[in-house]
Structure 1
Amino acid sequence: MAWRDAKASKIRLLLFMSSIILGIAAVVTIQLFSNNLKDNIKSQSKTLIGADYIIDSKQLPTERAQAIIDSLKPGAKEVNFVSMIAFPKNGGTKLVKVQGLDGNFPFYGKINTEPVSAASSYQALGGALVDATLMLQFNIIPGDSIKVGEVTLPIAGALKSMPGNSAISSSVAPPVVIPYRFIDATELLQFGSRKEYQYYYKASDTLNLIRLEEKLETALDIENADLDTHTSTTRRLGRRYDNVCKFLNLAAFIALLLGCIGIASSVHIYIKEKLNPIAILKCMGASRRQSFLIFLIQIAGIGIVGGIIGSLIGVMLQTVFPYLLKDFLPFTLEISISALPILIGIFLGLSMSVLFALLPLLRTWYVSPLDVLRVDEKGSQEPRKVRLMVFGVILVFLFLFSLWLIKDALYALAFVVATLLTFAMLASVAIGFIKIIKRFFPKHWSFTARQSLLNLFRPNNQTVVLVVAIGLGTFLISTLYFTKDILLAKTEIGQTEQNANIIILDVQRDQRDDVARTITTNNLPVLNNIPLVTMRMQSLNGRLVNEIRQDSTRQIRGWLLNHEFRTTYRDSLSDSEELMAGKWYSNVKQGEPVMISISENLAMDAKLNVGDPVVFNVQGVLIETTVGSIRKVDWSQIQLNFSIVFPTGVLEQAPQFNVFSTMAPTEASSAALQQELVAKYPNVSIIDLRQIFSLVDDILEKVSWVINFMAFFSIFTGIIVLIGSVRTSKYQRIKESVLLRTLGAKNKHILQISAFEYLFLGLLGSLVGLVLALVSSLCLALFVFKEPFIPSGIPFMVFLPGITLLVLAIGLSNIQTVLKSSPLEVLRKES
């Protein structure tokens, strides 16, 4: 009976099925991608770093640290730093990451070069491996030369990839690999230079890396060094990408929920039409169980078939994400298909179809044989207790599935509550709209307009479900568009004389005047000349840092106990700072206490308040200070910000270097300045902010593309639900339209009535979704990003009219049968 009834209603059942196919496809796609990502990280963990473990230090290792490093017998070593290089062939200059390598690195994976032989021969030949993209940009080929500081080397080959380098980091500062023995000759490692020493090890099969890490971590920590194993790198990478996968999973789950709402609505209408045949079946002796199972089997079949189709689509689509995210991954993602996500897709298709259809299905259980004779729109109703139990089961399922996705009970609960609130708000707007129309019904409007408004609250109306489906889809994608605009607004560089777009780093004391003159002779302004002094904390509140470091019960954050602070001194606050507590001290006279200002986050991590003493070690000289004020710093502003600021009159004679900033109006003026500075001062590093923010903009575009791709599932699922729901309403509207034609209504009247009804529904649903998106995006801008909110015009110009017209088109297609045929023919066909 289930099969026979399904064949008679196959078109409508296919629309029910389509409601969940895209949601299942989204979930399976992300699940497969997540599994591939985790498997690749696990299988390629050694290749990611090129070794079993690494010991690294931000400065030349101390005597004790060097003894530990030598005792473990490293197989290779590296020093890397960021610096400017020049190509003598064409005078080009670029900020790069110089990597001085010695030894047989990497132990796992390989250095990919063009020609291939350059990876093994560059050490013996004394050549350099230069990033392949960088060589293309400057029209450089192997055999040309590169100037690194005071050393000029031949280019042995183009560097395509190597362990430890990702596409994004290479875009900011492309790698240039040279033999370690040339580092001293470059004369680039001067006072204040940021550098990192790394020692690579290949472990024996019997070495327990976890025990080694536990044994050496504390000793190396005291010496300002660190040990990273391939297993700890795997865990760190896994956590980083796990958050991305959780977000995408939730977006896919929302698409699935939207499809399930469509199923519940469609089944509700479908079962309503079947109540009379069910009552007749019961008159003929069918039991409750039999009549219930007929339609349960139908819905379960829809869920299984929809789950299978959605899973197959998910398998085909999951290759899209590795392509989109390849620049974010420090390894090549290998694709494999596992059975678990596909089985999950089929299970979700079955369970969620049955769960969300269960409430309307229960109507079949409580249908009385007397309903054949009754003319009652409400008919037999299931008890309220049963209805509440079904709602409870659905909520428990949603919570458990969310918990499985996010692995956090509190977040899973918050997600379910937020989802319920969104649906409730959309449904409340729809119900409120119906009540307003009833209360303030425009009695003086034309007949067609009044008839279309009446259809919004007549029995079997689709107002609530269509407003929810359209509104949620519009809400999701509009919020994503608005949020993307907020993020991109934070990266824009205003081309004014107040905003620097060139930053010049590592300017030594004896170079300051000449660098300033070089900038001004190029007709560019010197916007900032900031002195930087490096120092470490010696003691906090009377406790030595070494003592605090060994205290396992400490509340002070560990990062600042080993951190080398880059501080400055000045007599006033900057535009990005706001005084929160204490008093700002602009200068210090001889014999007076040194009152410093610290940032809010440093005060929190170091547990410091105004009046607390702090002793700093400045190149072996101890300076006693007192916290005079605490500042709130806007770290997002495009300028140098500092955790610690000294007053003038203290650090002027301390070892220091300077940072200059200027504003080059054109690329040509920027290139000319960079070429002149690099030629005169090879140790100076120059950051062109336009290149950096162009990269950031490209990254955000890719991220937003991925997010919009997931939102596409939601909006397209919403459209499928919309089509199914509007097409389902056809069966309620046909008899009314035929009756109107029998009473003398013309085709244009019926067309106008339907057009107005679906125009109201489409406009209301998309408008409510846009309003909710505006409110949520405004809250995000003010409370999360702390940025002014200027909404994008795309949702207003595209989604509002587009979805409204789509609803209108589908609605009008419903009544073509009525318009083209006689009333009697239509009634015979429908019956």
Structure 2
Amino acid sequence: MKILPLAWRDSRGMRRRLVLYVSAMAMGVAALVALRSFGENLRRAVEEQTIEVFGADVQARRGAPFRAKDDALLDSVATAFDAALVRETSFPSMARFPKSGRTRFSQIRAMDGPYPLYGTVDAFPEDAVEQWQASGGALADASMLLQMDAEIGDSVAVGGVTYAIVGRVDRVPGQSDVGALVGPQLYLPRASLDSTLLSLGSRVRSTAYFRVDGMRPMHRLATILDARGYRVEKAKDEQAEWTEGTADLARYLSLVGVVALLLGGLGVASAMGVYAREKAETVATLRCLGLSSWRVLGVYAAQAVALGLVGAVLGVVLGLGVQRLLPLALGAFLPVTVSNEVVPLALLEGLGVGVVASVLFALLPLAGVRRVPPLRALRSDVSARGVDPLQVLLALLLIGAAYGFVFVQTRDWRIALGFLGGMGAAFGLLAAMAALVRRLARGFARPSMPYVWRQGIANLHAPNNQTLVLLLSLGLGVFLILTLGLTQSSILDSLRLPTEGENPDVVFFDVQPDQADSLRSILASESVPILTEVPIVTMRIQSIDGIPTDTLRADTTDGSPERWAISREYRSTYRSALTDTEVVTAGTFEGSVPPEAEIVPVSMDQDVAGDLGVGLGSRIVWDISGVPIESEVTSLREIDWAQVQPNFFAVFPEGPLAEAPQTTVLLTQTGSPQASARIQGRVVEAFPNVSAVDVRQVLALVQKVLGQIAFALRFLAFFAVATGLAVLGSAVRVALSRRTREAVLLRTLGASRSQVRRIVVAEYAGLGFLAALVGGVLAVASAWALATYSFKIPFQPNAWWLLATAVLVPVLVGAVGVLGSRSALAKPPLDVLRAEE
């Protein structure tokens, strides 16, 4: 008797039920194909667009305005290497729109030269960039024009200079949508900048962009500029870093696909386990007719291969559609444009992995058909006992295949082992909870309970129950989604501006010493209190423990100071006491010393101290406007950077820095958005160099950015939920025959359709509640760990998230259970009894 024809005949009457179970595997394959394709397209985009995003072959930066000697050096280097040169001076400042009277904190980018060296700027009108380069004026972000109710032809004032708006910028190479949210950009001619905006204490960064033909000239140019003290970066190095970063993202996306695939496989195993138990009498009959146990297994293995192929093909087709949605969900955070090109390798991988996974997960329960004794055809209580070596072998093979697949995705055996171990722990915990639920369900039902609920609870431990598979799939989905939601909630709570008490809502930066009294008068006339005044002294590190910074920068050995920490410009302060956002972790903070002290104590942020390689007792010489000040590290601090409070890497005591060149930051409380806008307008009009930041707007932008990040992460976690729902639907549908018999028995005994329906609701809503409970407990623990150890913020669980989960998941699962069992409720009992004869 041939296996394939027998497999085809045996599947009669079961095909619709069996084909439905492939939906679980199809969802897993769809996730794998879509995420794998997106990751590959992202890798290609980085390779092809890095130089456009980077904007040059070589960049040379300084944390200060370019001086005349810098311009001369850059011009000579560009001429020597026949390189195109663009210079940029960038800094935050207030932009004032005279027509509407509104002001906006903006990122100023002042340039000269043939910008952009690579790529194109999407602007309106099409020749806006050319007009800007030829005649001056300003180019404004589209978002800025919309917010300020401005249009092309209006004017904008930055500092004491007013510019005509000659064009609207929609997108520039390398600018992500999230970057535009943080601060809209305003493009100005470098030659016409108000020089007062570049004075001491201003947060200016200067960058020179070079376009060089040939790798050797590029390296030589970079070497010359590096030797002159510039921070030099090359496009090739940047591409390597981006490739590594996008590889991490691609690995993460692949692991999300693996989770969905494993859940799909779980659905396959559950469905085929029910199917195998229902076919026990058929298998016994075939054995009585002389068919060997291995040939019987071959019949059902052929069915599993066919159904696995169907599921994989459906998953590939669905994955192509899902792939087109991923750039919409993730594109806002990427500096490159990711295409939707079809990736043949991802399609083949999805097809092959889908078939192999389907067969392995299906064979695990199907292997038991070999041990069905022929006597089962006559006696239903006869079954095989003991452990099946083949099932043990298949389980080991499945684990090995899963490890191998994860290793292929990550190319790191530690990640693969850790991921598989973590998934195994999560599945093991959920499985243990399922076993506990089934055990408790046996004794939970009481005669005093309503019959409908008593019967529904009993179904949790009845034969062919779905307690294990549903708790695994739905519990994992709830765990993923809720972890993201609770973590996001804690982050937002830590950033939220309090509505009561004396809390700052507007911060004024870059206030010069001769402007402070006049600014105080303006605020006093508006009855606005000044909550805090913070002096800021700009300085650079000259040496550490007697070693000059030039020598430290050249040291590339392990354990050497981080180059960024040595080269950066520090904006430090002095005060007599710590704030409530700081905690001393080592040493003692000194708040006051005599002005003539030769060695000044300094308190350092512990993370920056680690990057500098300094500790208690280390000596740091600072260069403050050409004057060296020697200090000794006397304490280290841990800083809560999430609070609305000026924080600093280095804090000095009162006394020695009082006469140093400095600016002031004023924290005020205006009381309302209307008052804030009015006061900012007055201050910026009187002092164009002063920048004002509305804390409410900043936190609103942070919340919007976090919302977009949460949406993207939830979109990825949706694959687990969607696969879990597919598992749920297929499990309900495959077990339909038993549901039908149970419904007939209940209705024969006098139960109504309504009662049977409520029993189903009780069972599946109970499962949904348990999934929400188990997943919720895991999510709370995970979110607490993320908040406490990763983000270092207080864990503040959102009760609404927990309540919505506890309500929506049972309702959703109960609805799917009723829909899946509706045909069992629709058939007359007599029809079913006749079919059973």
Normalised to the residue count of structure 2, the TM-score between the two structures is 0.92
* Distance change (3 Å), C-alpha of 1:819 and 1:575: closer
> How far apart are the structure 2 equivalents of 1:197 and 1:494?
37
Choose from 570, 577, 580 the match for 2:575. 570
Matched, 1:177 2:183: no
> How far apart are the structure 2 equivalents of 1:746 and 1:137?
62
Asked whether the 8 Å contact 1:315–1:337 carries over to 2, the reply is yes
Paired residue for 1:486? 490
> How far apart are the structure 2 equivalents of 1:579 and 1:484?
28
Choose from 229, 233, 241 the match for 2:234. 229
Choose from 711, 728, 731 the match for 2:734. 728
Choose from 645, 661, 684 the match for 1:678. 684
> How far apart are the structure 1 equivalents of 2:750 and 2:16?
31
Deviation at 1:646, TM superposition (A): 0.7
Find the residue that maps to 1:379 and give its secondary structure. Answer: coil
Choose from 428, 432, 435 the match for 1:428. 432
> How far apart are the structure 1 equivalents of 2:639 and 2:142?
39
Paired residue for 1:99? 109
Paired residue for 2:159? 149
> How far apart are the structure 2 equivalents of 1:60 and 1:444?
82
Find the residue that maps to 1:72 and give its secondary structure. Answer: helix
Identity %: 34
Paired residue for 2:198? 189
Deviation at 1:248, TM superposition (A): 3.5
Choose from 586, 590, 596 the match for 1:585. 590
Q: 1:129-140 residue pairs with structure 2 within 5 A? A: 129-140=139-150
Segment of structure 1 superposing worse, 788-797 or 195-204: 788-797
Matched, 1:459 2:463: yes
> How far apart are the structure 2 equivalents of 1:816 and 1:661?
65
Deviations 1:284-324 (A, max 9, x none): 23234432222112112222221221221121122222223
Whichever residue aligns with residue 130 of structure 1, its letter is: A
Deviation at 1:574, TM superposition (A): 0.6
Deviation at 1:266, TM superposition (A): 0.7
Asked whether the 8 Å contact 2:541–2:623 carries over to 1, the reply is yes
Choose from 831, 834, 837 the match for 1:828. 834
Asked whether the 8 Å contact 1:587–1:648 carries over to 2, the reply is yes
* Distance change (3 Å), C-alpha of 1:239 and 1:521: farther
Asked whether the 8 Å contact 1:65–1:220 carries over to 2, the reply is no
Whichever residue aligns with residue 312 of structure 1, its letter is: V
Paired residue for 1:663? 669
Find the residue that maps to 2:277 and give its secondary structure. Answer: helix
Paired residue for 1:499? 503
Whichever residue aligns with residue 131 of structure 2, its letter is: S
Deviation at 1:440, TM superposition (A): 6.3
Matched, 1:124 2:144: no
Deviations 1:72-127 (A, max 9, x none): 33422222222222222232222222222222222322233322222112233232
Matched, 1:272 2:277: yes
Find the residue that maps to 2:251 and give its secondary structure. Answer: helix
Deviations 1:380-410 (A, max 9, x none): 6652x43333222222222232233344332
Whichever residue aligns with residue 303 of structure 2, its letter is: Q
Asked whether the 8 Å contact 1:363–1:380 carries over to 2, the reply is no
Find the residue that maps to 2:151 and give its secondary structure. Answer: coil
Normalised to the residue count of structure 1, the TM-score between the two structures is 0.92
Asked whether the 8 Å contact 1:366–1:382 carries over to 2, the reply is no
Deviation at 1:360, TM superposition (A): 0.9
Whichever residue aligns with residue 335 of structure 1, its letter is: N
> How far apart are the structure 2 equivalents of 1:723 and 1:658?
64
* Distance change (3 Å), C-alpha of 1:97 and 1:435: closer
Segment of structure 1 superposing worse, 558-567 or 229-238: 229-238
> How far apart are the structure 2 equivalents of 1:54 and 1:812?
63
Choose from 621, 628, 635 the match for 2:634. 628
Find the residue that maps to 2:358 and give its secondary structure. Answer: helix
> How far apart are the structure 1 equivalents of 2:338 and 2:141?
21
Paired residue for 1:409? 413
Choose from 744, 758, 783 the match for 1:777. 783
> How far apart are the structure 2 equivalents of 1:746 and 1:564?
79
Asked whether the 8 Å contact 2:36–2:253 carries over to 1, the reply is no
> How far apart are the structure 2 equivalents of 1:161 and 1:824?
69
Paired residue for 1:551? 555
Whichever residue aligns with residue 545 of structure 1, its letter is: T
Find the residue that maps to 1:152 and give its secondary structure. Answer: strand
Whichever residue aligns with residue 488 of structure 1, its letter is: L
Segment of structure 1 superposing worse, 317-326 or 257-266: 317-326
Deviations 1:740-769 (A, max 9, x none): 555666667655654544443333233222
Matched, 1:83 2:93: yes
* Distance change (3 Å), C-alpha of 1:731 and 1:623: same
Paired residue for 2:521? 517
Paired residue for 2:124? 114
Matched, 1:23 2:28: yes
Deviation at 1:544, TM superposition (A): 2.6
Gaps of 5+ in 2: 1-5
Deviations 1:785-813 (A, max 9, x none): 34343433445444433332344445456
Whichever residue aligns with residue 423 of structure 1, its letter is: F
Asked whether the 8 Å contact 1:362–1:382 carries over to 2, the reply is no
Aligned pairs, number:
825
Choose from 316, 330, 348 the match for 1:311. 316
> How far apart are the structure 1 equivalents of 2:501 and 2:449?
60
Find the residue that maps to 1:44 and give its secondary structure. Answer: helix
* Distance change (3 Å), C-alpha of 1:64 and 1:782: closer
Matched, 1:705 2:705: no
Whichever residue aligns with residue 199 of structure 1, its letter is: A
Asked whether the 8 Å contact 1:262–1:725 carries over to 2, the reply is yes
Deviation at 1:651, TM superposition (A): 0.7
* Distance change (3 Å), C-alpha of 1:453 and 1:370: same
Matched, 1:51 2:56: yes
Deviation at 1:141, TM superposition (A): 2.9
Gaps of 5+ in 1: none
Choose from 169, 190, 194 the match for 1:159. 169
Deviations 1:34-56 (A, max 9, x none): 22222222222232233333222
Matched, 1:606 2:612: yes
Whichever residue aligns with residue 538 of structure 1, its letter is: Q
> How far apart are the structure 2 equivalents of 1:259 and 1:123?
57
> How far apart are the structure 2 equivalents of 1:207 and 1:446?
81
Asked whether the 8 Å contact 2:535–2:574 carries over to 1, the reply is yes
* Distance change (3 Å), C-alpha of 1:701 and 1:652: same
Find the residue that maps to 1:387 and give its secondary structure. Answer: helix
Deviations 1:310-356 (A, max 9, x none): 22112112222222334333344433222122212212211111121
Asked whether the 8 Å contact 1:426–1:468 carries over to 2, the reply is yes
Asked whether the 8 Å contact 1:83–1:685 carries over to 2, the reply is yes
Matched, 1:198 2:211: no
Asked whether the 8 Å contact 1:127–1:153 carries over to 2, the reply is yes
> How far apart are the structure 2 equivalents of 1:177 and 1:65?
20
Matched, 1:719 2:725: yes
Asked whether the 8 Å contact 2:121–2:172 carries over to 1, the reply is yes
Asked whether the 8 Å contact 1:80–1:99 carries over to 2, the reply is yes
Deviations 1:170-225 (A, max 9, x none): 33332222222213x54321112222222222222x3347xx44x56666445441
> How far apart are the structure 2 equivalents of 1:735 and 1:171?
60
Paired residue for 1:207? 215
* Distance change (3 Å), C-alpha of 1:664 and 1:7: farther
> How far apart are the structure 2 equivalents of 1:707 and 1:521?
48
Matched, 1:529 2:538: no
Q: 1:283-302 residue pairs with structure 2 within 5 A? A: 283-302=288-307
